[in-house]
Amino acid sequence: MEHEYDLSCEEGVAAPIPDEEICADCDLVLEHEGVGRPCMVSISLVSEERIRALNDAWRDVDRATDVISLECERPDDPDLAPGEPCELGDIVLAPAYIARQAAEFGTTEADEFRLLLTHGLLHLLGHDHLDEQEAEAMEAREEELLALMPCDRPIDHVVLTRHREDGDA
């Protein structure tokens, strides 16, 4: 299935993995989540200042964060005609913030980025971590999906559970 990705990078900001891998990782998540229609996803890489402003505007949280997901449509929306592309939404990532987190948690920038890209995409598909049961289910799904991706090293469950307290969206 052909999904469409609009990748944008703020000047001076770069992803720790190539654009082709970003798209391939998203394709993998959508395929394994059983998405049966083409989707369009916007992926933006921004500075910490920009993600802080977005976090404040959209979530009323005046601090930088690693990832923000802004949902538009769901693939199973009955208002979408069969075969009509789904405008899934936007994933905004802050690579500098992610790099510091990677160092703090003993993982690589690339693996932390893959985790947060997957995390953001799962949010667009309706997954959440507002309570313990949801958090455990989302972490388990992240772990399963990341095991299918070319990662620098195996993702530790401890690395996943820390996102419960991060207040990301």
* CATH number assigned to the domain comprising residue 34: 3.40.390.30
Tokens of 9: 């990078």
pTM of the model: 0.90
pLDDT of residue 50: 97
Domain with 120, as residue range(s), is 4-166
3-state SS, residue 165: helix
CB 112 within 8 A of CB 98: yes
Count of structural domains within the chain: 1
Tokens of 166: 């991060």
pLDDT of residue 158: 47
Alpha-carbon span 132 to 16, nearest angstrom:
31
Show pLDDT as tens, one digit a residue, over the chain (169 residues). Answer: 799 999 999 999 999 999 999 999 999 999 999 998 999 999 999 999 999 999 999 999 999 999 999 999 999 999 999 889 999 999 999 999 999 999 998 889 999 999 999 999 999 999 988 888 988 899 999 989 999 998 776 665 445 545 555 544 4
Alpha-carbon span 82 to 51, nearest angstrom:
35
